[in-house]
Amino acid sequence: MNLALLLLILNLFVGVFSKEALKPNVVNVGAIFSFSTTNGRVAKVAMKAAENDINSDPSILGGKKLSITLHDSNFSSFLGIIGALQFMETDTVAIIGPQSSGMAHVLSHLANELHVPLLSFTALDPGLSPLQFPFFVQTAPNDKFQMTAIAEMISYFRWAEVIAVFNDDDQNRNGVITLDDELAGRRCRISYKAVLPPDPTATSSDVRRELTKIQMMESRVIVLHTFSGTGLLVFEVAKSLGMMGKGYVWIASTWLSTVLDSTSPLKPETAKSIRGALTLRPHTPDSKKKRDFISHWNQLSRGSIGFNPYGLYAYDTVWMIARAVKLLLDQGGNISFSNYAHLADAGGMDLNLSALSIFDGGKQLLKNIIETNVTGLTGPVRFDQDRSRINPSYDVINVVKSGYRPVGFWSNHSGLSIMPPETFYGKKPNRSSLNQHLGSVVWPGGGTRPRGWVFPNNGRQLRIGVPNRVSFRDFVSIVNGTDKVQGYCIDVFLAAIKLMPYAVPYRFIPFGDGLKNPSYYELVSKINSGVFDGAVGDIAIVTDRTRIVDFTQPYIESGLVVVAPVKRISLSPWSFARPFTPFMWAVTAAFFLIVGSVVWILEHRINDEFRGPPRQQIVTILTFSFSTMFFAHRENTVSTLGRLVLIIWLFVVLIINSSYTASLTSILTVQQLSSPIKGIDSLISSSEPIGFQVGSFARSYLIEELNIPRSRLIALGSPEEYAEALEKRTVAAIVDEQPYVDLFLSEHCEFSVRGQEFTKRSWGFAFPRDSPLAIDMSTAILALSENGELQKIRDRWLSRSACSSEESNDESEELDLKSFWGLFLICGSACILALLVYFLLMFHQFSQHCPEEPGSTSRDRSRTYSSRLRTCLSFIDKKVEKSQSSSKRKREGTPPKGYHKENV
C-alpha cells in the first residue's frame, strides 16, 4: 500500500485512538492475529504463557514488565492496518504478526518507516524478502522449505506431474510458484493450477467447479496449499466426487497438521474425507522444556484448543523479543520514541500525525533479534545469513483411519529420512536420492503406491501415429483396403501393451501418403504439436527427436552400415604370398640378411664354423640367417653378443611365422570378398554417389556429421531400387540402418556390408515429453526382453534363410609392416647395440696389443694411417682361440680346424 493511502487511513482514524502515556516500566508489544482461526487461538495462549513466564522472572527485563496487547484482525487486512496504527501510537517496541502474508506486505512498509520490528511465525511467504522488508522477521521456516519438502516427496515417489490447488492470496500463490521451481529442478512439473478465492471466502461451488476440471485431467497427484477453512472444504467436496479413492494422491501443506493436532476428535465426516492424505508438520526436537510446556497446555488453554507446533514458535518469538530488549538495555540503550517529521510535512496536508513516532532503538533491537542464539522450545533459535531459521525441518504425516501417524522426516540438511533430523546434524550433508527414505504410506482407497496419473477421463482413445511405409513393410505396414496395421514394430507394441498394469485405449492413425516413405522427423513433430499422443514404428532414437519427445527403452539396435557390391576372390598358385604385402616381404628378407651378417661379424674371430674361404662365409651367412625361420641352423653361436642377437631374432621370427600361418589359413579356408569400398572411411574419401533410404535419418547424419556434400546423396525408396542402383553403379554404396540392411541382404547375395557399424542407434516408441506412459512402456519392453518374447517376435518377422548368413566377411587385409615395425625396431636396435659393443672391445684390444709408437711426428703418423688401418682390420679378422674351444678339442684329441698363424 502506498504512502498516500496510509496517510488517508491515518487521517480518518487518528482521532479514534488516543496516545497512551509512556510508562518507563512497561515494554509494549503488539500482536495482530485472526483469533478465530486455529493458529490464532494457539498463538494467543502461547504468547500469554510466555508473557507470564517473562514477567515472573525479574532478571529478564530488569524490573520492567512485558505487556502484550492483542488485536483481532478477523481475516481483514483493513482491520489489521488499523491495529498496527494503534500499536504505533502507543510506543510499541515490536509487533508479533500479522498472521497472513498479504497483510505482512502492507505492514512491513510501516515497520520500515517507524523502525518497529515485525515478527511472524505464520506469514511465511517466500516473497517477503529481508532486502525489501528489513524490519520483517520470519521466526519459523518459510514456505520455501515446505515446498522443497513436498517437491522431494513427489520426486521420491517418482511422480512426474502434479496439480496445485491454492487460495488466490500472496502466501499461497507465491508458495505454489516456489513449488513449481523446485519441481522443475527435479524434472517434474505442475500440469495445472486450480485457483480458489481467498480464504475464507471460497464456496462449495467454487471448489466443485475446479475439482470437476481436475477429474478430467491426467494427473492424480494433488497438492493442496490453502488455509484450514478452504482446505477442509476441498476435501469434503473431493470425497463427494469420489476423488478420495484409489489412484489419487493428496499432499496438503502444514495447515492440515495444525487441524489434526489442535482439533480432537475430528468430526467423522471430516476424518473420512482426509483419510490417506499426506501432510507436513514443522519439526521441533524433543526436549524437557518442550515436554513440560506441552504437559501444561491444557491448563494454559483451559481446554479451549489443542496444542500444535506453532504454539512453540509463538512462545519462542515472545522470548526472542524479551531477550533482545534486555540486551538493548544492557548495551546502554533505552526505550524512547521521537516524532516522525517527514509525515508531519507530507504534501502540505492538514493531518494530525503527531501520534506516530519512530522507535529510536528499533535498529539495534532488530539487530539483537537477528543475532539471537539460544535454545528454545523449538530447538536452536538462530538465523543464517539469509535471515532464515537454521535447520528447517518437517515431520511427514499420513492420515489414517485412527487419526494420523508419522512416516518420516524432511530436513534441509539430510532430505527425507525415517530418523529425526537432529541425528544427522553432526554429519556431512547428504541429499543423495539413494539416502532418501520414508515409511509405508496408507493411500486413499488403500492399495499400493498410486502411479500418479490416468488417461484423461473424457472417453478419447490415444491417437498413435504409425508410418505408412511403401518399402520394408515387414517392420510396419497398413493392410491394403483395411485399417489394420501389422509388422514387427506393431507386434512389439501390442505385446508391451499386454504387460501394462492398466488398460490403454488407443487407435492407430497412418501417417504418410502411401506413395513414399514419410519423414520420421515430421511424424515425431506431430506428437509435439498435439496431433498424435504417440508414435509406433521403426523410429530411430536420434538427438533432434529426443529434444521434442520422450522415447521408450529401445527394443532393437539400429546403427548405420555401408552396403556395397562385392566379388568373390578365387585362389591362385601364388596365394601363399598374399598374407604379407610386398613391402613386408622385402623388409623381412632384408632383416634375414642383416641378422645373418651381424651374427657372422660377432662370431667370426672365435667360431670356426663362421670362418673359411670368402665363398664359404657368404654361403654360411645366407644359410644361417634363412635357416632361423625353421630353428634348424647348423652353426652354433659361442659369443654372448651373438646369442643375444639370435634370441631376439628368433622371437621376431616366431611372431612372423605365427602371423603368416594364421593369415594363410584364413585365405585358403574362408571365401573372400573383394570391393574397393572397405567401410565408411573409404566411402567418405571417394567422390562417388551414396544411396540412402527415403525418410531415414541417414541423410542428415551424412551431411551434418560426416560433411558429405548433398550432391553425392541419392534417395532410394525400396530394396529393388537399392539392388538396381548398386548393379548399375548409380551409387557406389548405400548407407542405411542395420535392420533394413539385414532384410535386403537376405535376398541379394551379391552385396555385402563393408566395414563396421559406425553409429550406435536404436528404435523406440515416441510419446510426449514427460509422459508417464513412456516410463511404463519402457518397463514392459524390458520385461519382454527378459522373458524372451522380444526375440521370438524378431524371429517371426525378420528371420530369413538368408544368403546374408553365408560368409560375407570383409576382405582379409594383407599384413603390412605397420603391424610388425615394433618387432623390427627392437631387433635392429639389438643388432646395432651388439655391433657397437663389439667394435669398442676390438678397438680397445687393438690399442693394447698394437700401441702407437711414441715420439712420432704428425707427418710420420699421417704416413702410417693406412698401414695402421690395415693392421687393425687384420687384427679384427684374426682367429682367436677361446679357452672353452681349446679345452673341448683337447678332450676330443683333435687340433683346431684350419688352425694356422697366418690370416685367413
Please spell the DSSP secondary structure of 707-733, one letter per residue. ---GGGEEEE-SHHHHHHHHHTTSSSE
Distance CA 7, CA 199 (A): 28
In sequence order, the 6+-apart residues with CB closer than 8 A to the CB of 201 are: none
pLDDT at 901: 35
Q: Which fold has domain 143-286+391-435?
A: Rossmann fold (3.40.50)
| 108 touches 136 (CB < 8 A) | yes
Q: Mean pLDDT over residues 311-321, rounded? A: 96
Please spell the DSSP secondary structure of 330-361, one letter per residue. HTT----EEE-HHHHTGGG-----TT-EEETT
In percent, the amount of the chain with pLDDT more than 90 equals 49
Residue 559 vs residues 477, 537, 576, 744: alpha-carbon distances, Å: 22, 16, 37, 15
**Cα torsion for 351, 352, 353, 356, to the nearest 10°?**
-160
pLDDT at 199: 86
pLDDT at 348: 43
First CA to last CA distance, the chain: 122
Distance CA 120, CA 311 (A): 12
Residue 383 vs residues 112, 367, 386: alpha-carbon distances, Å: 20, 11, 8
Distance CA 171, CA 174 (A): 5
pLDDT at 576: 62
Tell me how crowded residue 29 is: count the other CB atoms within 10 A of its CB: 24
- Which helix (H) or strand (E) segment holds residue 778: the answer is helix 772-787
pLDDT at 886: 44
Q: Does 98 sit behind a cis peptide bond, omega within 30 degrees of 0 on the bond before it?
A: yes
- Residue with the larger pLDDT of the pair 578 and 490: 490
Phi, psi of 191 (to 5 degrees): -85, -25
Q: Mean pLDDT over residues 216-229, rounded? A: 93
- Residue with the larger pLDDT of the pair 454 and 299: 299
| 452 touches 772 (CB < 8 A) | yes
Q: Mean pLDDT over residues 206-229, rounded? A: 94
For residue 461, the Cα-to-chain-centroid distance in whole angstroms is 34
- In which band, very low, low, confident or very high, does the pLDDT at 862 lie, cut at 50, 70 and 90? low
- In which band, very low, low, confident or very high, does the pLDDT at 898 lie, cut at 50, 70 and 90? very low
Architecture of domain 557-568+671-763: 3-Layer(aba) Sandwich (3.40)
Distance CA 506, CA 434 (A): 37
Burial zone of 455 (CB within 10 Å; 0-12 exposed, 13-18 middle, 19+ buried): middle
pLDDT, the chain, mean: 83
User: Tens digits of per-residue pLDDT, 469-488?
Assistant: 999 999 999 988 788 999 99
The least confident of 103-107, 226-230, 832-836 is: 832-836
Domain spans in the chain, listed from the N-terminal domain onward:
26-140+289-381, 143-286+391-435, 461-555+764-800, 557-568+671-763, 575-669
In percent, the amount of the chain with pLDDT more than 70 equals 81
Q: Mean pLDDT over residues 576-583, rounded? A: 72
For residue 252, the Cα-to-chain-centroid distance in whole angstroms is 29
pLDDT at 897: 44
The least confident of 504-518, 538-552, 757-771, 792-806 is: 792-806
3-class SS at 560? strand
Is domain 461-555+764-800 annotated with CATH 3.40.190.10? yes
Distance CA 194, CA 164 (A): 6
Residue 111 confidence (pLDDT) above 50: yes
- Which helix (H) or strand (E) segment holds residue 29: the answer is strand 26-33
pTM of the model: 0.67
Tell me how crowded residue 142 is: count the other CB atoms within 10 A of its CB: 25
pLDDT at 218: 86
Among candidate residues 118, 87, 117, the one with its CA nearest the CA of residue 104: 118
3-state helix, strand, coil in the chain (%, to 5): 45, 15, 40
Residue linked to cell 535376398:
747
Q: Mean pLDDT over residues 182-187, rounded? A: 91
pLDDT at 715: 92
Residue 805 confidence (pLDDT) above 70: no
| 327 touches 368 (CB < 8 A) | yes
Distance CA 721, CA 470 (A): 12
Residue 613 confidence (pLDDT) above 80: no
Residue 888 confidence (pLDDT) above 80: no
Distance CA 875, CA 877 (A): 5
pLDDT at 565: 86
Tell me how crowded residue 306 is: count the other CB atoms within 10 A of its CB: 19
Q: Is the four-CA dihedral 634, 635, 638, 644 of positive or negative sign?
A: negative
Residue 539 confidence (pLDDT) above 80: yes
The least confident of 39-53, 115-129, 279-293, 584-598 is: 584-598
- In which band, very low, low, confident or very high, does the pLDDT at 807 lie, cut at 50, 70 and 90? very low
- In which band, very low, low, confident or very high, does the pLDDT at 606 lie, cut at 50, 70 and 90? low
Q: Mean pLDDT over residues 492-520, rounded? A: 90
Say yes or no: do domains 26-140+289-381 and 557-568+671-763 share a fold: no
Q: Mean pLDDT over residues 581-599, rounded? A: 80
Residue 113 exposure: Cα atoms within 13 Å on the Cβ side: 18
pLDDT at 616: 67
pLDDT at 902: 37
- In which band, very low, low, confident or very high, does the pLDDT at 345 lie, cut at 50, 70 and 90? low
pLDDT at 803: 55
| 377 touches 287 (CB < 8 A) | yes
At 585, the amino acid letter reads W
Residue 125 exposure: Cα atoms within 13 Å on the Cβ side: 24
Residue 904 exposure: Cα atoms within 13 Å on the Cβ side: 20
Tell me how crowded residue 859 is: count the other CB atoms within 10 A of its CB: 8
pLDDT at 190: 95
In sequence order, the 6+-apart residues with CB closer than 8 A to the CB of 134 are: 112, 366
pLDDT at 3: 47
Most confident range (mean pLDDT) of 69-83, 406-420, 682-696 is 406-420
Distance CA 752, CA 892 (A): 70
pLDDT at 341: 63
| 405 touches 384 (CB < 8 A) | no
Q: Mean pLDDT over residues 860-880, rounded? A: 61
| Grid cell listed for 379 | 530447538
Residue 869 confidence (pLDDT) above 70: no
Distance CA 852, CA 106 (A): 114
Superfamily assignment of 26-140+289-381 in CATH?
Response regulator (3.40.50.2300)
pLDDT at 200: 85
User: Tens digits of per-residue pLDDT, 30-87?
Assistant: 999 999 999 999 999 999 999 999 999 988 988 889 999 999 998 888 888 888 888 8
User: Tens digits of per-residue pLDDT, 378-409?
Assistant: 999 999 998 999 999 999 999 998 889 999 99
Tell me how crowded residue 873 is: count the other CB atoms within 10 A of its CB: 12
Q: Mean pLDDT over residues 752-777, rounded? A: 89
Burial zone of 528 (CB within 10 Å; 0-12 exposed, 13-18 middle, 19+ buried): middle
- In which band, very low, low, confident or very high, does the pLDDT at 826 lie, cut at 50, 70 and 90? confident
Strand partners, 536: none
- Which helix (H) or strand (E) segment holds residue 278: the answer is strand 278-282
Q: Mean pLDDT over residues 724-741, rounded? A: 91
3-class SS at 478? strand
Tell me how crowded residue 233 is: count the other CB atoms within 10 A of its CB: 21
pLDDT at 154: 95
pLDDT at 6: 47
Please spell the DSSP secondary structure of 485-528, one letter per residue. EESHHHHHHHHHHHTSSS---EEEEEES-SSSPPPHHHHHHHHH
Distance CA 20, CA 156 (A): 56
pLDDT at 578: 64
pLDDT at 374: 94
